[in-house]
Amino acid sequence: MVLDDLVAYSDHLRPRSSTLTCRLLPWKGPLGIVKIDPGLKAKCPRVALGCVSAEVEARETSPALEEELRACEEKILRLGEPRAVLESSAILATRAGYKALGKDPARYRGSAEALIRRIIAGKGMPRIHAVVDIINIVSVESRLPIGLYDLAHVQGDITFRAGRAGETYKGIGKYDLNLEGLPLFADELGPHGSATSDSERTMVTPATRQVLAILVSFGGTENLERYCERLQSLLAKHASGKNSQRTLV
């Protein structure tokens, strides 16, 4: 999940058996195709996506999931030099990808880096609901940004591409985000998520029944399948995840 959105997610939500196909091609998922734009691929040749879809229940964070969240945070904080995690290969590859697309990674951080910085600062990960919390755990563990989308609000195929001049969307609970140069996901209605901050249009709420999570790796496919499988496992355990699919693009 994309960290800039997380506290806003919390405010916004107040009252108011798996299969695998491993291929580096566009993925035909439950409701459409996920593909990488050739222009983005030319600038970031090692970019790869890990896609996980599932039927879920976005219920409150359970005590068992709370234990998983605390263990994830403590694993970072117990390191001799926690800030060294910010120089991991996955985070460095994300920064390099942003630079290649013309976006300053110090101003627009990948969501995994933003989450880890929050943990190091002693703020911990926000507790939103089971599905978002699981995404955050896997993002921190993998050091990869993860987009999370309610498939009921996605229309048609999804393309991972660079944002174009003049493109914006309303971030979750906040202002319009300048998308130019940002690595983002767009469906037939336009951009709806990115490796930095997702939109309100496709956000996951307690009413969500089917999700698509997309792990973004600018450093290739190494360990990508493993973290997709980890995500499926946590969804099944803590969010009644079922009828799940995963693949690499």
Is 99 a residue whose pLDDT tops 80?
yes
| Residue type at 13 in one-letter notation | L
- Torsion from C-alpha of 58, 86, 49, 44, nearest 10 degrees: 150
Q: CB burial class (10 A; 0-12, 13-18, 19+) of residue 194?
A: buried
Backbone angles phi and psi of 244, in degrees to 5: -90, 145
Average pLDDT, integer, range 59-73: 97
Flag whether the pTM goes above 0.85.
Answer: yes
Is 22 a residue whose pLDDT tops 80?
no
Rounded-to-integer distance, Cα 158 and Cα 90, Å: 23
Q: What angle do CA 87, 91, 95 make, to 5 degrees?
A: 105
DSSP 63: H
Backbone angles phi and psi of 195, in degrees to 5: -75, -5
Rounded-to-integer distance, Cα 45 and Cα 42, Å: 5
Residue ranges per structural domain of the chain: 3-248
Q: For residue 42, count other CB atoms closer than 10 A to its CB.
A: 9
What pLDDT is stored for residue 232 in this prediction?
98
Backbone angles phi and psi of 149, in degrees to 5: -135, 140
- What tokens appear for 34 in the block? 């996920």
**What is the per-residue pLDDT across 158-190, written as a single tens digit (0 to 9) for each?**
999 999 999 999 888 667 889 999 999 999 999
What pLDDT is stored for residue 187 in this prediction?
97
- Torsion from C-alpha of 151, 18, 56, 145, nearest 10 degrees: -60
Q: Which residue has the tokens 């911990």?
A: 124
Domain over 3-248 is classified CATH 3.40.50.2000: no
| Residue type at 26 in one-letter notation | P
